[in-house]
Structure 1
Amino acid sequence: MLRQICALGLAVVVAATAACSGSGGGGKARDTLVVYTGQAGDFQLNFNPYAPTQIEGPGTIYESLFFFNIAKDTPPKPMLGTEFKWNADGTELSITLRDNVSWSDGQKFTAKDVKFTLDMVAKTPAMNRTGFKGETTVVDDTHVVIKFPEPSYMDGPQVLGQLWIMPEHIWKNYGNPATEVNQNPVGTGPFQLGDFKAQSFTLKANPTYWGGEPAVKQVRYLSLSGNQAGVDALRAGSIDWQTGPIPDIKDIEKNYPGYKAITLPLNQVALFTCSNAQLGCQGAQTDPAVRQAIYYGMNRTQINSLAFQNVNSEMSPGFTLQPRDAQLLSNKLTDRMAPMNPDTAKSDQILTSAGYVKGADGIYAKDGKPLALTVKVVAGWTDYITALETLSQQLLKIGIKITPQQLSWNEWADARGRGQFELLIDSVEQGPAPDPYYTYSYFFSTATTAPVGQAANPNFARFSNPIVDNALAELKKTDRGNPARQPHYDAIQVELEKYLPYIPVLTGGIPSEYNAKAFTGWPSKDDLYAFPAVWKRPDASQVYMKLKPAGN
């Protein structure tokens, strides 16, 4: 699961517990929502929504033009934009903008801010995770037109829903916007930065927000020491919302009075590999045979049981999200779904055929180098740590030694971005619309990676494949639902299964626990107005805006 990290001292825990338990003093409704995003380690002040190390901002402080709900296939919700329309051949996108919007410093938001942002993203590769190549023209204060060099229907949800509009009058002064830490964020969103400390920070309601001031007046983000601390805080009633595993989640209403839970499939848990030696990756994991051997050596049934309380599910090596993308699952795959049980004989055969020889210690080696790899994980992510401890025992049976290395989130994220790892555990996220095209274009496109030492965002595996790139280019030209798209999905899935730059583990069932006694308006399976994960942006901001203190 994609998460972010931070750490909390005992005094802060006690203070938070005293301030946040129940519904507030005297039974009065309280308007401060306390959230835990799963972080372990001090917050590093960075509210640049385009930086891989940003701690908050998309949706809360900075807004997109529209909100696309990946939890439910519904029409996009107008945000800074009110309408959009494609021309007949998908090369021109016309957007109407909201007129009554101000930046939090009082300056008026106009179409010039939109053009500035889109131009900035287009010319700054480190910010351009969507591969945006459009040319933006201002028609007037409330209208822009984006022209693309080719049919670009699939760019729509990314440009409209995943690019955060920035104030030109401030950001034009930054020479390197990709690395700007943005300590004093000025946005159009429903929240502004309140106080900031290394162990916690607060977003406060924007009183001049165009959509009306939120009923939740403050959102306080706490840093804890990891998943267990999150469970303890939940049991103490000192947090209102967290997304992560807890013991006996099925009995949450009995074990954690006042709380409820919701679990939905979303991200795909994988071993990320620095896979591309041509871009500077080093280690045995650059050999596809090693990645394939690990893939077949996993006992996913055991990992699901020991690490994930069996809330995760099967995963396809072609990285379509199941069951959502069942109709797009390629029949050209060797394994339509990754095997839940290990095939040690197949792993041995793959390694032997690739020239590896098993030593007296049972570990394979090649050219005198044993098959021993380090896998990075964030300290405090107990489910992932358990998964790796389990996997390390499993892989010894096929002659591969992996050693988990626990890091702070900041160290881990920096290593992930720069490609300074052999393996790490994380999850592959979905895009702004329910279509695997976006996952492919983010994590498997040459356009979204970089040589080791430079920041890749988010093709952290450094995967580069001309067949995949060509298929993505063709998919981009055709709108969703067109049957002509399937051969291109097939081509991508076959290559991903062949090379496994991200080694599939399981589809993550994302559990969130929330305080139903103190606040109303939470997403439910009957009302999935946003994906209910506290670290999912901009979905979390949609939740914050919908919540009301109980009794109001």
Structure 2
Amino acid sequence: MSLKPSRLRAAAAGLAVAALVAGCASSGGAAPSAADSTLIVYTGQAGDYQVNFNPYSPTTIDGPGTIFEPLFFFNMARTTDPVPRLGTEFAWNDDGTVLTVKVRDNATWSDGTKFTAKDVVFTLDMVKKHKTINSTGYAGTAKALDDTTVEITFPEPAFSQGPQVLGRLWMVPEHLWSKIADPANDVVAQPVGTGPFLLEDFKGQAFTLKSNPTYWDGEPALKRVRYVALSGNQAGADALAAGAIDWQTGPVPDIKNVEKNYPGYKAVTIPLFQISLFTCSNTALGCTGPQTDPAVRKAIYHGINRAQLNALAFEGTAGPISPGFALVDRDKQYLTQDVAPMEPNAAEAAALLEGAGYAKGGDGVYAKGGEPLAFTVLVPAGWTDYITAVDTMGQQLQAVGIKLSSRQVSWNEWSAARGNGKFQLLIDSLYQGPAADPYYLYSYFFSTGSTAKVGESANPGFARVSDPAIDAALAALEKLDLTDVEARKPHFAAIQERVADLMPYIPVLTNGTTSEYNAAKFTGWPTADDLYAFPAVWQRPDHSQVFKSLKPAGAP
């Protein structure tokens, strides 16, 4: 019987991944038992991994949640109570200036050293000292009252800081990290953490985490997680068809019929991340190029045919997006901007450009001062949905006199350019914060405190936004209880108005993030009905909550 080309690709992918996984088999060549099954995951890594388990590095390949833990896990997918990790309970004083946290007394670092409140204080002090790793804008002063109690004092009411400090800072061991001079850039090749997993082995093509036998919550039922590098989304889909990977987040053909096309597998789609064209937007911080002109950014925004783009690049799984970046469904109570048009408006794009002094040349491309509006968009090699999206937008924008083309680069090159600002345009998604609230996205991507000059590492203020009006609104929100909706509304309205006016991130669509997982081999997966974590293999620390919950099928 002959195999069709798609089956040949799937078989080849299966052989390639099988070779990578072979090292996980038990000694003597015997296959692992059901209880020792290895979860094989594909995060979209195209090309070899570069060792980096520093949870504070923008190029980390893993560690947050799995090896290095937060104090609590906050579910970004829905509003639920935070889940204790290294912390056991916390409380604010009445005016939101003092946060008291109790930490557990039964946790140890993987080198056997006991975890205490002093490690928490060290971590918080380190983050505060080094701006490039302080992505949450932490500005508190921490002290250990005893081995299990930390008191964090803020100069002003800081209710909004709670989920960030508790859920997005990764505790590191003082006895080791105090010797690291540059915690933003040290790759931490031999990580020591308190988490449910340890690093077992690393190679460029794959690395393996193994369960932590001394984990404070008991050794996980899932014994190994194997991260494999393939050649992109197509290779991921082929490996899925061959049954060679167990979990990936990304597109597959005919995504609505995963269970039929991939027997034993299921899929879940959650709309949360907002696909955008990131621009290096701020000349005051060193950005150069015509994308620094808001008129150009807005012209691109109006030139996109989002309905066509959704069909061609995302199989209809994406949804509408607001130019103010409040989520259309989750953040309805704060939404003040109309959603982005699904159809293009060439007349509006032309009016914006001509009003800003651009003139269309004989080639149909607008230019000013001899510089045409011709852009290369950086996209990771193998990310087929994003590549298709950029190529589609390139065709669409010809109608409004803008030339756009994709340039595929390695993930490492793309990530480095995004961090240091050495780009004009790239495609990525804005992610949400630890709580179901728009404040966190704004503080991450639009705050002066989260960005840096071109050439320096911004994390994650990649568009180099620095705007007094946005900063003032964020400062006001910082002081308000997250439940005080009416008091917060005018500040969110001010941010959305300014964000839509500046448009440093050009809104494309709200991504319907789809993950495919092996339900026949493992149980305990998050589903739409039991959404205990955001189910994306690359989302940290949510992926660690999934790993902690999974059991090999047939295990007690």
Q: TM-score, normalised by structure 1?
A: 0.96
- Kindly indicate whether the alpha-carbon contact (under 8 Å) linking 2:160 and 2:481 is maintained by their aligned counterparts in 1: yes
Matched, 1:531 2:534: yes
Which piece of structure 1 moves more, 523-532 or 132-141? Answer: 523-532
Matched, 1:499 2:505: no
Map residues 276-425 of structure 1 onto 2, 5 A cutoff: 276-330=282-336, 333=337, 336-425=338-427
Matched, 1:164 2:170: yes
Which piece of structure 1 moves more, 245-254 or 227-236? Answer: 245-254
Shift of 1:19: 8.8
Shift of 1:12: 3.9
Aligned-partner Cα distance in 2 for 1:502–1:400: 17
Aligned-partner Cα distance in 1 for 2:131–2:218: 35
**Matched AA of 2:44:** G
Aligned-partner Cα distance in 1 for 2:421–2:488: 32
| Residues 221 and 26 of structure 1, relative CA distance in 2, 3 Å threshold | closer
Aligned-residue Cα RMSD (Å) equals 1.6
- Given candidates 49, 53, 56, the residue that maps to 1:50 is 56
- Kindly indicate whether the alpha-carbon contact (under 8 Å) linking 1:70 and 1:530 is maintained by their aligned counterparts in 2: yes
| Residues 344 and 83 of structure 1, relative CA distance in 2, 3 Å threshold | same
Matched, 1:173 2:175: no
Aligned-partner Cα distance in 1 for 2:173–2:161: 22
Aligned-partner Cα distance in 2 for 1:28–1:421: 47
Aligned-partner Cα distance in 2 for 1:12–1:118: 43
- Kindly indicate whether the alpha-carbon contact (under 8 Å) linking 1:18 and 1:238 is maintained by their aligned counterparts in 2: no
Shift of 1:208: 0.2
Aligned-partner Cα distance in 1 for 2:89–2:391: 50
Aligned-partner Cα distance in 1 for 2:545–2:17: 27
Which residue does the alignment assign to 2:7?
none
Deviations 1:392-422 (A, max 9, x none): 0111110011121110000000000000000
Q: For 1:472, what is the secondary structure of its paired residue? A: helix
Aligned-partner Cα distance in 2 for 1:376–1:27: 43
Aligned-partner Cα distance in 2 for 1:26–1:362: 62
Q: For 2:508, what is the secondary structure of its paired residue? A: strand
- Kindly indicate whether the alpha-carbon contact (under 8 Å) linking 2:13 and 2:239 is maintained by their aligned counterparts in 1: no
- Kindly indicate whether the alpha-carbon contact (under 8 Å) linking 2:14 and 2:243 is maintained by their aligned counterparts in 1: no
Shift of 1:481: 2.2
Matched, 1:516 2:491: no
- Kindly indicate whether the alpha-carbon contact (under 8 Å) linking 1:363 and 1:400 is maintained by their aligned counterparts in 2: yes
Matched, 1:62 2:68: yes
Q: For 1:397, what is the secondary structure of its paired residue? A: helix
Aligned-partner Cα distance in 1 for 2:305–2:548: 42
Which residue does the alignment assign to 1:79?
85
Shift of 1:13: 2.4
Q: For 1:115, what is the secondary structure of its paired residue? A: helix
Aligned-partner Cα distance in 2 for 1:342–1:120: 47
Aligned-partner Cα distance in 1 for 2:68–2:22: 31
Aligned-partner Cα distance in 2 for 1:304–1:522: 27
Aligned-partner Cα distance in 1 for 2:126–2:353: 46
**Matched AA of 1:298:** I
- Kindly indicate whether the alpha-carbon contact (under 8 Å) linking 2:66 and 2:196 is maintained by their aligned counterparts in 1: yes
- Kindly indicate whether the alpha-carbon contact (under 8 Å) linking 2:422 and 2:455 is maintained by their aligned counterparts in 1: yes
Matched, 1:111 2:124: no
Aligned-partner Cα distance in 1 for 2:194–2:529: 30
Aligned-partner Cα distance in 2 for 1:166–1:56: 14
Aligned-partner Cα distance in 2 for 1:435–1:405: 34
Map residues 14-25 of structure 1 onto 2, 5 A cutoff: 14-16=18-20
- Kindly indicate whether the alpha-carbon contact (under 8 Å) linking 2:70 and 2:166 is maintained by their aligned counterparts in 1: yes
Q: For 1:88, what is the secondary structure of its paired residue? A: coil
Q: Percent of aligned pairs with the same residue? A: 62
Map residues 401-550 of structure 1 onto 2, 5 A cutoff: 401-482=403-484, 483-550=486-553
Aligned-partner Cα distance in 1 for 2:371–2:265: 52
Matched, 1:254 2:260: yes
Shift of 1:97: 0.6
| Residues 375 and 26 of structure 1, relative CA distance in 2, 3 Å threshold | closer
Shift of 1:10: 8.6
Aligned-partner Cα distance in 2 for 1:138–1:337: 47
- Kindly indicate whether the alpha-carbon contact (under 8 Å) linking 1:31 and 1:549 is maintained by their aligned counterparts in 2: yes
Shift of 1:131: 0.5
Aligned-partner Cα distance in 1 for 2:524–2:262: 19
Q: For 2:400, what is the secondary structure of its paired residue? A: coil
Which residue does the alignment assign to 1:5?
none
- Given candidates 9, 13, 21, the residue that maps to 2:17 is 13
Q: TM-score, normalised by structure 2?
A: 0.95
Deviations 1:455-479 (A, max 9, x none): 0000100011100000000000001
Aligned-partner Cα distance in 2 for 1:381–1:241: 16
Aligned-partner Cα distance in 1 for 2:24–2:269: 24
- Number of residue equivalences: 539
| Residues 524 and 358 of structure 1, relative CA distance in 2, 3 Å threshold | same
**Matched AA of 1:412:** W
Shift of 1:180: 1.0
Shift of 1:370: 1.0
- Kindly indicate whether the alpha-carbon contact (under 8 Å) linking 2:145 and 2:151 is maintained by their aligned counterparts in 1: yes
- Given candidates 20, 23, 42, the residue that maps to 1:36 is 42
- Kindly indicate whether the alpha-carbon contact (under 8 Å) linking 1:9 and 1:199 is maintained by their aligned counterparts in 2: no
Map residues 98-177 of structure 1 onto 2, 5 A cutoff: 98-177=104-183
Which residue does the alignment assign to 2:5?
none
Query: What stretches of structure 1 of length at least 5 have no aligned partner?
Result: 1-7
Deviations 1:292-348 (A, max 9, x none): 100000000011000000000000001011211111101xx3xx1000000000000
Deviations 1:339-396 (A, max 9, x none): 0000000000110111000011100110111111111000000000000110001111
Q: For 1:345, what is the secondary structure of its paired residue? A: helix
Aligned-partner Cα distance in 1 for 2:90–2:17: 46
Aligned-partner Cα distance in 2 for 1:201–1:391: 36
Which residue does the alignment assign to 2:3?
none
Aligned-partner Cα distance in 2 for 1:207–1:296: 55
- Kindly indicate whether the alpha-carbon contact (under 8 Å) linking 2:20 and 2:206 is maintained by their aligned counterparts in 1: no
Matched, 1:218 2:220: no
